Structure 1
Amino acid sequence: MKKVTINNISMPAIGIGTWNIGDSLVNRSTEIKAIQTAIDAGAQAIDTAEMYGDGRS
């Protein structure tokens, strides 16, 4: 797997964003599955922000 180095830390060059996650409770299980799939694929970078999904991401 390709790696990148950020601040002298090597990590997989794969990540996931959560911008629209948490907007609807109807999609909760699918969203959790998407995040888990990314982690299973090697993602270590997960972009989150309090404003995403009104704090639910």
Structure 2
Amino acid sequence: GMNNKEIADYLFLSVHTVTTHRRNISNKLQIHSTAGLIIYAIANKLVNIEDIQE
């Protein structure tokens, strides 16, 4: 997966914007770990498991 800086660079956003969006998503879903967010995304078919990099 990508860290916040890599996501920001990929999407042409600031790191602060990425951090804020991740925090807001975590709060709305009441999931407070990166692993939890990944599991949620896979379970809800928001990402393809083959697209996830180590």
Does TM-score exceed 0.5, indicating one fold? no
Task: Tell which has more relative contact order, 1 or 2 (C-alpha 8 A, sep 6+).
Answer: 1
More strand by share: 1
TM (normalized to structure 1)?
Answer: 0.36
More helix by share: 2
TM (normalized to structure 2)?
Answer: 0.37
Structure with the greater alpha carbon radius of gyration: 1
